[in-house]
Structure 1
Amino acid sequence: MAHLLGAEALHLEVPTKVVFDSVTIGVAAGDRIGIVGRNGDGKSSLLMMLAGRRDPDGGRVTMRGGTTIGVLDQADVFVTDETVGNAVVGDAAEHEWASDPRARDVIEGLIADLPWDARVDALSGGQRRRVALARLLVGDWDILALDEPTNHLDVEAISWLAEHLKRRWAASQGALLVVTHDRWFLDEVCNATWEVHDRIVEPFEGGYAAYILQRVERDRQAATIEQKRQNLARKELAWLRRGAPARTSKPKFRIDAANELIADVPAVRDSVSLQSMAVQRLGKEVVNLLDAGVAYGDRSVLEDVEWLLAPGERTGILGVNGAGKSTLLGLIAGTVEPTSGRVKRGKTVKVATLTQRLDELEEHLHEPVRVVIGRLRTSFSVGSGSKAQELTPSQLLERMGFSSAQLSTPVKDLSGGQKRRLQLLLILLDQPNVLILDEPTNDLDTDMLAAMEDLLDSWPGTLIVVSHDRYFLERVTDQQYAILDRHLRHLPGGVDEYLRLRAAQDHGTSAPTAAGNGASTTAQAVATPALSGAELRSAQKELSSIERKMEKLQSDIARSRDGLADLDQTDFQLLNAEMSKITALEDEVVALEERWMELSELVE
């Protein structure tokens, strides 16, 4: 692959530490690189040095002559009083940008719902982010450097962005560098991962799932690597490998190696024990929304919501901005009263909400972290049954990524991610039995997200999550619902079904759900059409056939990938041909998996 960009012996210092020390790295055509690491370790600094936006203290960055690079910063900066149209296409006449297929695709995909002459200054954070992305993506760049591109975007916009980046260049052309904590996005878009840590940049092959596997193997072989980090990574790998069938076809690593690594790793959650503990703490009745609706004046936000929350239920809520997600959470928390129907709560219910704000920390800003936590409780129980552990406040803080030195730091001096983690701990220490998380992943890096997920795995209460982070949503919840046309709708097919429904909604058509029926408008499970005896036997037969085909294809893919090592690594034409064959096999697996899911719903 042609070399596009390189860094040699990069050195960077800030007043309190050395960020990079003699880092040498390169970017070639065809690279789609995700940059991960702890907050503060230098991910954005590395991206900006490679993009020419920041000068290193030592070493140099070189770029092949004529190479163009487009950069998306974390901050979306626009000219005062600039309109949406001018921000995206400048002074170009409509016939000029409208004749460009890429410009039309970007505008339709990101900002079709925004008035062309609206002032950017008056837009919300998410709308401004979409305008900034559109402004960048309509351009023709050899390299794109994106710093947290999914910030403030909803699930649909993130899905569109992933698809756009996958088809923007041919496989052996262009290059992408992206800093993001969105692990689904990393896995969907990237073919390589750079981990920034301890003043170095360590490259890994493949997206996020492949990176996790390789990191587990690295940690297992290196005795000096902390055991806690290894266990978290192995636990996350176990979830990745045991999750939805569609996920297992995408990671670029050998399936048998992954299974060997996680052979002794238990399921991420002991659902039976957690359910039992939840019932004991909550009783049988939690919060029941009975034909509930909310209207503000003449504007109806929610209608006919029928939802009986169960003890230990772990549910994700999806919906576009303004669909009514916050109103729904308010009904559960008791901060919003229904204007029709009613809400019934169990006698022992204690609801707590992790909001997007940091209100819980306001009164503690000048106090050290240790004092804030120690004042609430002397110990915290993690886990269930014989595996339960009693942790001191300091041990709990360390489990959530606080160093010993940071325990004496005043709350006001913590980073955004540290404040977010402390906010969650304060809420959990208050011992609620119904927990609502509203966009909890803001400001957290991938390691801290894994730590939060690990903590929530052992929490036995009822959990309701609203998040645009698809990976986190699927990881910590067992089912998803969506607010569509003011009604709450169950999603047997998860986020993928939600995206299909939204696409059909935008095009004015009806879309089948994973259960084959698009008529349900409540949180009740969608009814599956009844099959005759002959139809059921036929479906079961086809299901068995698909499973056999999938198993054979997975074996063929693994064998083909192993065979790549025996090929001449300098014969790029041959390697590309083999990779094309493997990709075709993987696409066939994905198609079979979709049919498998449809049939599974029918024969249940």
Structure 2
Amino acid sequence: MANLLAAECISLALGTSQLIDDVSFGVGGGDRIGVVGRNGGGKSTVMRVLQGDQPVDSGRVTRVGGLTIGLLSQEDRIPPQSTVREAVLGDRPEHQWAGDPRVRDVLDGLLGGVSLGGVGGPDALVGPMSGGERRRVALARLLVDDPGLLLLDEPTNHLDVEGVQWLADHLVQRRSRGDNAFVAITHDRWFLDAIATMTWEVIDGKIEQYEGGYAAYILAKNERARVAAVTEERRSNLLRKELAWLRRGPPARTSKPKFRIDAANELIKGEPEPRDGVELMRFATTRLGKDVVDLIDASVTLGDRRIIDRQTWRLAPGERTGIVGVNGAGKSTLLRALEGTQELSAGKRKQGSTVQIAFLSQEVRELEQVAGMRVIDAVTQVKSFTMLDGKEVSASTLAKRLGFSGPRQQTRVSDLSGGERRRLQFLRLLMAEPNVLLLDEPTNDLDIETLTSLEDVLDGWAGSLVVVSHDRYLLERMCDRQIALLGDGRIRDLPGGVEQYLELRHAAPAGARPEPDPAPRAAEPETAAGGAAYGPAQLRAARKDMARAERGLARLAEREEKLHTQLVAAGADHAEATRLDAALRQVHAERAGLEEQWMAAAEIVE
């Protein structure tokens, strides 16, 4: 594909920081590019250079004639007196946009349909809206305009899991033509994997380019580190650990990266699982005992809304649970009910005598009391040493693991960026040695490198963990169980993870309350035996379905192994590699179908 934009030997310094240093790159038609890098590393500046708003000190940027460019920045630029209709559709006549399936898709996916009911109606003013609602309006306007080059700076901010899924699908389906392209800065690793054919890493004034999404980027970064004999042992270990997770993760993830299987297996040879679940459970039980926090026949009401209705949830020692749901479903309220700061309208809450709860809220106001302190003093104010992974760790060492280098530990808290404040907030909680962690959107303002470090730290933390997040990758990586709030007052178990949640959301009629489901077996053990009654014939049929699916999965595993071997042997034979890759994708699709059948049958049998 022809280049839509080309940058040749460009350099740019802002103040004393050299953000871009003699860099060349191009954006071609059909390119889907994800941009990653540390906070403050220059990603947003690169976007402004692409747009043409930021001149460079040297080099040149050329654009194909007639190229239209649209930028979704992190700044809110919509006039507050605009209505939603004016902001999104401009002066387009109704017959024009209403007859365009692409525009209707955007309105449905982001704003609640043609009626725009999800943001208060077409005549609602933008000014009084929340930051998340204004962000959706700005994104919708840009997608409706459909520029040739679409530049997105953190487009998934304020989107729930469903919104992120919709945006990924829309970009892949609508923005893969030869006459358009998009570049997206994102810290959402699932989103990056879903959209990107190429990943740019902005680091130390350079733009390192990798083919593929997040998983392929991790592999290539490992290979480059190995070839260059990188001496940063801790960072290299983190990358290998992350790659091991990707290769051992859910089938839907391992099917995505288009990298050499032999190279990946060689890199992770001997790499242990990210965490030893059995050992951590033993430690957690020692620290917590049998009883952690129980919500028994509990209801929580906010105004006239019933968040949970007569639900029982017994949080177990060492349990790692993720909570998903649309914005406003009550996820944060459920966390506060577990913490004990949200009053129950019915039922009761029990807490074990040894339980020490720490709550990471979405606010960082608690740091105001230490604003004048240095980072290391704000940490040692809590404690100088803590236990992690069975070892005593100093405050300085843990701070370094979470991205505070030696000099940065001397910085005043008031001078920290939003991401650094979030890290410090989490660090102070860990130093208090809690045995129950409640995390409300922990990924806010964190870059990918910091997220990986945070996950690495929690891999060695022994306790019960409950996470509210829209970050699918983080939920898969950190949690062994996922539950959903669907607006019907129930706590639903999700054996199939976020994919099952999206299916449930898709199946529910728009605006309708989902039909109540029996409370999940793991969330409400005492109702397991008294749940839906299945007859002997149904149970026999379900067991046969499980056995049939297991045989099919075994055959597919053998077939997949043979295809992997053949793919390695194909080497530089592009045609053969393409054929084998297509066969692998077919195997993965068949496996996903069989796993769904097995899960459906298992729910009946169990």
TM-score normalised by L of structure 2: 0.92
Q: In the alignment, what sits opposite 1:444? A: 446
1:424-573 to 2 correspondence within 5 Å?
424-484=426-486, 485-507=488-510, 519-522=517-520, 523-524=523-524, 532-533=539-540, 536-537=543-544, 539-549=546-556, 551-553=558-560, 555-556=562-563, 559=566, 563=570, 565-567=572-574
Q: Is it true that 1:299 corresponds to 2:297 in the alignment?
A: no
TM-superposed CA distance for 1:266, in Å, is 0.7
Distance 2:172 2:286 in 1: 48
Q: How big is each residue's C-alpha offset from its partner over 1:379-422, in whole Å with a ceiling of 9 and x where there is no partner?
A: 222213xxx3x222211111111121111110011111111111
> 1:17 corresponds to which letter in structure 2?
S
Deviations 1:267-309 (A, max 9, x none): 1111111111111111110111111002245432221111000
Give the C-alpha shift of residue 440 in structure 1.
Answer: 0.7
- SS of the aligned residue for 1:202 comes to strand
Mapped contact 2:32–2:196 kept (Cα < 8 A):
yes
Show the 5 A alignment for 1:343-492.
343-384=349-390, 388=391, 390-484=392-486, 485-492=488-495
Question: Shift in Å at residue 102 of structure 1?
Answer: 0.7
Given the alignment, which residue of 314, 317, 327 partners 1:311?
317
Q: CA deviation at 1:225?
A: 4.2
Residues 10, 57 of structure 1: 8 Å contact kept:
yes
Q: Which amino acid aligns with 1:489?
A: R
Q: Partner residue of 1:586?
A: 585
Residue in structure 2 matched with residue 4 of structure 1 by the alignment: 4
| CA gap 1:588/1:129 in 2 versus in 1, 3 angstroms | farther
Select between 313-322 and 252-261 the one with higher mean Cα deviation: 252-261
Aligned counterpart, 2:42: 42
Residues 297, 79 of structure 1: alpha-carbon distance in 2 compared, 3 angstrom cutoff: closer
One-letter amino acid of the structure 1 residue matched with residue 32 of structure 2: R
- CA, structure 1 residues 166+524, in 2 after alignment: closer, same or farther (shift >3 Å)? farther
1:242-253 superposed matches below 5 A:
242-253=248-259
Does residue 273 of structure 2 align to residue 274 of structure 1?
no
Moved more, 171-180 or 531-540: 531-540
2:32–2:176 contact (8 Å) kept in structure 1: no
The verdict on how the C-alpha distance between 1:40 and 1:554 changes in structure 2, with shifts beyond 3 A counting, is farther
Cα gap change, 1:143/1:363 in structure 2, threshold over 3 Å: closer, same or farther? same
Query: What amino acid is aligned across from residue 496 of structure 2 in structure 1?
Result: G
Q: 1:130 to 1:581 in 2, by over 3 A?
A: farther
1:238–1:224 Cα change, 3 Å = closer
* Unpaired stretches in structure 1, ≥5 consecutive residues: 513-517, 568-574
CA contact (8 A) 1:500 1:511 kept: no
* Aligned residue runs from structure 1 range 90-169, under 5 A: 90-112=90-112, 113-114=118-119, 115-169=121-175
Runs of 4+ in structure 1 deviating by more than 6 angstroms, as ranges, are 508-512, 525-530
Q: Report matched runs for 1:202-217 at 5 Å.
A: 202-217=208-223
* Residue 327 (structure 1) aligned to one of 323, 333, 336: 333
Report the Cα distance in structure 1 between the residues aligned to 2:565 and 2:41, rounded to whole angstroms: 35
User: For residues 467 and 218 of structure 2, what CA distance do their matches in structure 1 show?
Assistant: 24
Tell me which moved more, 592-601 or 139-148: 592-601
The answer to whether the 8 A contact 1:550-1:589 is kept is: no
Shift of 1:537: 4.2
Give 3-state SS (helix, strand or coil) of 1:78's partner: coil
Bigger drift between 169-178 and 266-275 goes to: 169-178
The CA deviation at 1:211 is: 0.4
Equivalent pair of 1:323/1:486 in contact (CA under 8 Å):
no
Identity of aligned pairs, percent?
Answer: 49
Distance (whole Å) between structure 1 residues aligned to residue 336 and residue 202 of structure 2: 40
Measure the CA separation in 2 of the matches of 1:53 and 1:551. 54
Counterpart-to-counterpart distance in 2, 1:451 and 1:75 = 28
The whole-number CA distance in structure 2 between the counterparts of 1:535 and 1:335 is 43
Deviation at 1:360, TM superposition (A): 2.5
**Paired AA for residue 414 in structure 1:** L
Contact 1:317–1:464 at 8 Å: present in 2 too?
yes
* Corresponding residue SS for 1:342: strand
Question: How far 1:561 sits from its partner (Å)?
Answer: 8.2
Residue segments in structure 2 that go unaligned for 5+ positions in a row: 113-117
1:595 partner letter: L
Query: Does the CA contact (< 8 Å) of 1:561 and 1:582 recur in 2?
Result: no
C-alpha distance in structure 2 between counterparts of 1:311 and 1:271, whole Å = 11
Aligned residues: CA RMSD:
2.4
Alpha-carbon distance in 2 for matches of 1:256, 1:73? 40
* Cα displacement (A) at 1:542: 3.9
- Name the CA shift for 1:104/1:311 in 2 (closer, same or farther; >3 Å): same
Quick one: structure 1 residues 506 and 132, their matched pair in 2 at CA, closer, same or farther if it must change by over 3 Å?
farther
C-alpha separation in 2, matches of 1:421 and 1:371: 15
Does residue 61 (structure 1) correspond to residue 61 (structure 2)? The answer is yes
> CA 1:255/1:488 → structure 2, altered by over 3 Å: closer, same or farther?
same
> How big is each residue's C-alpha offset from its partner over 1:230-256, in whole Å with a ceiling of 9 and x where there is no partner?
111111111111111221111111233
User: What is the match of residue 598 of structure 1?
Assistant: 597
Q: CA deviation at 1:521?
A: 3.9
**C-alpha distance in 2 between matches for 1:270 and 1:585:** 31
* 2:22 maps to amino acid: S
Per the TM alignment, residue 510 of structure 1 is displaced from its structure 2 partner at its CA by 10
Deviations 1:541-599 (A, max 9, x none): 343224423542564477468758334xxxxxxx7x98588457515522432322431
Secondary structure of the corresponding residue to residue 122 of structure 1: coil
Deviation at 1:66, TM superposition (A): 2.1
Q: What is the match of residue 572 of structure 1?
A: none
Is the Cα contact below 8 Å between 2:255 and 2:585 reproduced in 1? Answer: yes
Whether the aligned pair in 2 keeps the contact of 1:38 and 1:447 (CA below 8 Å) is: yes
Deviates more, 1:539-548 or 1:42-51: 539-548
Question: Do 2:199 and 2:211's aligned partners in 1 also have CA atoms closer than 8 Å?
Answer: yes
Alpha-carbon distance between aligned partners in 2 of 1:328 and 1:169, rounded to the nearest angstrom: 38
Q: Is the Cα–Cα contact under 8 Å of residues 314 and 478 in structure 1 kept in the other structure? A: yes
Tell me, yes or no, if the aligned pair for 2:230 and 2:236 is still in contact at 8 Å. Answer: no
Q: What is the rounded CA distance, in whole Å, between the counterparts of 1:375 and 1:509 in structure 2? A: 50
The residue matched to 1:376 in structure 2 has which SS? coil
Q: Which AA in structure 2 matches 1:540?
A: A
User: Whole-Å Cα distance in 2 between the matches of residues 501 and 302 of structure 1?
Assistant: 18
